[in-house]
Amino acid sequence: MSTADSTLIALEKKFWQSMVDEDTDTALAMLAEPSVMVSSHGAMEFNHEQYREMAEKGSMVIKSFKLSDMHVTHPNADTAVLTYRVKQAMAQRGKSEEIEQEMADSSVWLRKDGEWLCVMHTETEVEAKAAKPAAKKTTAKH
């Protein structure tokens, strides 16, 4: 793994941790302006002020996360696309009951003046794998 890939993975983890810690300033320092988010709610472009509003007053908060299957692709020297899976626990703001989700995520990072900034993030819920029905046993009749 290259140094750039390690840096980008560390930045992605730092961004996720900033959401758990409700540390909006840390998240904003890693976001391009404007940025784009694509989720089950559709596509939206937002600036730093709008991100702060979502992060600090949104109805849901991230309580924990675990990233896996991380992959980094570089279309060019100043662009990186991260893809990965995340298991996340969320709760309504101020409530303790958590909802767990498994998602397939991607983030696009651009290097500007030597610093990596996230310009786009997508998330898609991964359907739970349905249990396969047991195979029926057949017996031969003689």
35-49 burial, b if ≥16 CB within 10 A, otherwise e? bebeeeeeeeebebe
Q: Is 118 helix (H, G, I), strand (E, B) or coil?
A: strand
> Would the CA dihedral through 60, 61, 64, 70 be positive or negative?
positive
Q: Is 127 helix (H, G, I), strand (E, B) or coil?
A: coil
pLDDT of residue 1: 76
pLDDT of residue 139: 44
CA distances from 84 to 3, 9, 105, 114, 122 (A): 18, 10, 5, 24, 11
Please enumerate in sequence order all residues whose Cβ is within 8 A of that of 53, keeping only pairs 6 or more positions apart, or say none: none
Burial of 127 (0-12, 13-18, 19+ CB in 10 A): exposed
Closest CA to 69 of 126, 109, 139, 110: 126
Query: Using CA atoms in the order 126, 46, 14, 116, what is the torsion angle rounded to 10 degrees?
Result: 110
pTM for this prediction: 0.86
Please list the pLDDT of the chain residue by residue as tens digits (142 residues).
788 899 999 999 999 999 999 999 999 999 999 999 999 989 999 999 999 999 999 999 999 999 999 999 999 999 999 999 999 999 999 999 999 999 999 999 999 999 999 999 999 999 866 544 444 444 444 4
CA distance 62 to 21: 9
